[in-house]
């Protein structure tokens, strides 16, 4: 059987509602075209709210293992756990990647046999050259078939870097602008490949909150004044005052917020009480191209751990014995029924960030979302009816105790079955410092 090429595009922090739905605020003709020719899963759910655990779930087909229990230790990802990149290589695929330095420092690039195009996401994105660098690789003739090409884009990651002429726009406007720029680049990329022998997958590791604050750079005069002030005040004092100002502004915004949804849009997903709302977990999953039926929109809830088991069946990979938590979605592609499997959820805790979210775990079905604090489980409990309350604004924990009991039973059963006995390849002191420096650049620590 002819092995198709596979183009796997993962857009960091991409929300599903920017690809499809009644609340869509972006113009994305190329994504729309791929949906019409293939399949878009309207309810695709990530297992985590963070990149590395998101990658871990996608490329192993496993739920995050012990994420959020005692903080995230720094270790090389995929070093001891079977993964689908290695499986593809063992079955004749040449594997290539474009990824940021952060993923490289976590050991992900080692899987791609040195065929990695690396970039610094604090300096480079599709607006300022990365688009051409990727397109040039497809024009070079160096890709040997059958190939698997993984592209990890950071353009939507906070603070969302855009050209100077757009820096006055507020966060939500910059977000949509970048989504549309990604779509333009995608259109150019599609012209470089043959969809008759290529499967295209577009998804995300996690979503993000669309901040309600107007954080655009208003004018050059304001920047000059801030620069002059910073010159006269010691760096540590300036940073302290700036932090205090942000905290005061945040308190004022929270006090004036009219709903829980507005409150969630004030902070980023790493603030103390972000929990596991769909804003950070509901991701796009689009698959189109080689032998993919034009089924269109599928409303069934699926998990990001299902992506590679589906791909495994589509390209008929033989004799894979790795036990996964995911399963193939091919029956849904072919308009057949498939019994729903719940999505297990964990947030990720940064070991070096004192403002990390409260560790919590949860479960999601097509009808309900349930999550709670990892410890002191009698507190911080959330239950939402997703059919009646898709924005998760009305916590039903005090009025639907029977549902809480059932969801907690389901959550406990999954946790009991989780495998957590794999070995992690630890990092050296220097490697750990490199990772922490990358986190500092991104504002995590």
Tens of pLDDT, residue by residue over 336-373, are: 999 999 999 988 765 434 455 677 889 999 999 999 98
Tell me what pLDDT residue 321 has.
56
Delimit the domains of the chain by residue range. 5-211+276-339, 220-264
pLDDT given for residue 288 in this prediction: 97
pLDDT at 275: 82
Which residues are within 8 A (CB) of 353 and not within 5 positions of it... i.e. 6 or more apart? 270, 439, 444, 445
The answer to whether 350 and 356 have CB atoms below 8 angstroms apart is: yes
Indicate if the alpha-carbon torsion angle 59, 60, 62, 63 is positive or negative. negative
- CB within 8 A of 382, min separation 6: which ones? 275, 276, 362, 369, 370, 371, 372, 392, 395, 397
Give me the sign of the Cα torsion angle 49, 324, 340, 307. positive
Using alpha carbons only, what angle is made at residue 355 by residues 207 and 438, rounded to the nearest 5 degrees? Answer: 65
Beta bridge pairs of residue 6: 148, 199
Longest dimension (CA), the chain: 69
- Token digits of residue 96: 């290539």
Beta-bridge mates of residue 361: 346, 372
pLDDT at 351: 45
DSSP helix/strand/coil, 166: helix
Cα separations in angstroms, 272 against 48, 180, 230, 323, 355: 16, 31, 29, 34, 6
Could you read off the pLDDT tens digit of each residue along the chain, which spans 445 residues? Answer: 689 999 999 999 999 999 999 889 999 999 999 999 999 999 999 999 888 888 888 988 888 754 333 344 555 556 567 789 989 999 999 999 999 887 776 677 778 877 899 998 888 999 999 999 999 999 998 899 999 999 999 999 888 999 999 999 988 999 999 999 999 999 999 999 999 999 999 999 999 988 776 777 765 545 555 555 555 666 666 556 666 776 777 777 777 777 777 777 777 676 666 689 999 999 999 999 999 999 999 999 999 999 999 999 999 887 555 678 899 999 999 999 999 999 999 887 654 344 556 778 899 999 999 999 887 666 689 999 999 999 999 999 999 999 999 999 999 988 887 755 445 555 566 655 665 565 555 555 5
- The structure tokens listed for 356 are 């990390």
The Cα-based distances of 363 to 39, 276, 326, 371, 414 in angstroms read: 25, 9, 15, 6, 9
Nearest residue to 50 via CA among 157, 159, 202: 157
- Is residue 347 within 8 A of residue 251, CB to CB? The reply is no
Residue by residue, DSSP assigns 97-163 as EEEEHHHHHTTGGGGGTT-EEEE-TTT--GGGTHHHHHHHHHHTT-PPSSEEEEEEE-TTSTT----
Of the CATH numbers 3.40.50.2300, 1.10.238.10, 3.40.720.10, 1.10.579.10, which one belongs to the domain with range 5-211+276-339? 3.40.720.10
Give the angle subtended at the CA of 319 by the CAs of 318 and 322, to the nearest 5°.
120
Give the C-alpha separation, 378 to 393, whole Å.
20
Contacts of the segment 318-323: beta carbons below 8 A, 24+ positions apart: 318/91, 320/87, 322/60, 322/61, 322/82, 322/87
Sign of the CA dihedral with 279 first, then 167, 24, and 388 last: positive
């Amino acid at each position: 059987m002819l092995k198709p090429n596979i183009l796997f595009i993962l857009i960091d922090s991409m929300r599903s509602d920017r690809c499809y739905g009644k609340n869509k605020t972006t113009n994305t003709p190329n994504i729309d075209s791929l949906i019409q020719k293939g399949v878009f899963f309207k309810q695709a759910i990530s297992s985590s709210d963070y990149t590395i655990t998101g990658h871990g779930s996608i490329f192993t087909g496993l739920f995050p293992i012990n994420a959020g229990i005692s903080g995230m230790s720094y270790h090389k990802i995929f070093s001891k756990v079977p993964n689908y990149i290695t499986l593809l290589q063992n079955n004749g695929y040449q594997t290539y990647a474009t990824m940021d330095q952060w993923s490289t420092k976590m050991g992900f690039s080692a899987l791609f046999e040195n065929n990695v195009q690396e970039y610094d996401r604090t300096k480079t994105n599709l607006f300022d050259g990365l688009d051409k660098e990727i397109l040039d690789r497809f024009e070079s003739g160096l890709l040997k078939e059958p190939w698997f090409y993984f592209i990890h884009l950071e353009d939507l990651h906070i603070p969302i870097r855009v050209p100077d002429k757009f820096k006055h726009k507020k966060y939500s406007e910059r977000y949509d602008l970048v989504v549309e720029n990604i779509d333009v680049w995608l259109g150019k990329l599609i012209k470089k490949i043959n969809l008759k022998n290529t499967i295209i997958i577009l998804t995300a590791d996690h979503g993000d909150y669309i901040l309600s604050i107007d954080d655009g750079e208003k004018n050059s005069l304001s920047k000059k004044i801030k620069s002059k002030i910073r010159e006269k005040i010691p760096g540590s004092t300036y940073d302290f005052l700036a932090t205090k100002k942000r905290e005061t502004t945040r308190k004022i915004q929270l006090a004036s917020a009219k709903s829980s949804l507005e409150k969630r849009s004030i902070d980023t997903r790493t603030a103390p009480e972000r929990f596991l709302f769909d804003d950070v977990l509901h991701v796009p999953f689009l698959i189109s191209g080689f032998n993919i039926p034009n089924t269109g929109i599928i409303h069934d809830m699926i998990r990001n751990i299902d992506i590679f088991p589906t791909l495994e069946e589509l390209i008929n990979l033989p004799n894979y014995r790795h036990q996964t938590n995911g399963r193939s979605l091919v029956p849904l592609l072919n308009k057949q029924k498939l019994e729903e499997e719940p999505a297990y959820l964990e947030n990720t805790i940064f070991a070096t960030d004192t403002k990390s979210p409260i560790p919590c775990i949860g479960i999601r079905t097509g009808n309900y979302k349930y999550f709670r604090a990892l410890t002191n489980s009698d507190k911080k409990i959330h239950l939402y009816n997703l059919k009646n309350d898709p924005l998760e604004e009305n916590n039903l924990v005090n009025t639907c105790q029977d549902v809480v009991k059932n969801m907690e039973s389901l959550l406990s059963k999954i946790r009991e079955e989780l495998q957590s006995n794999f070995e992690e390849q630890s990092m050296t002191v220097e490697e750990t410092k490199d990772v922490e420096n990358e986190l500092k650049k991104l504002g995590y620590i």
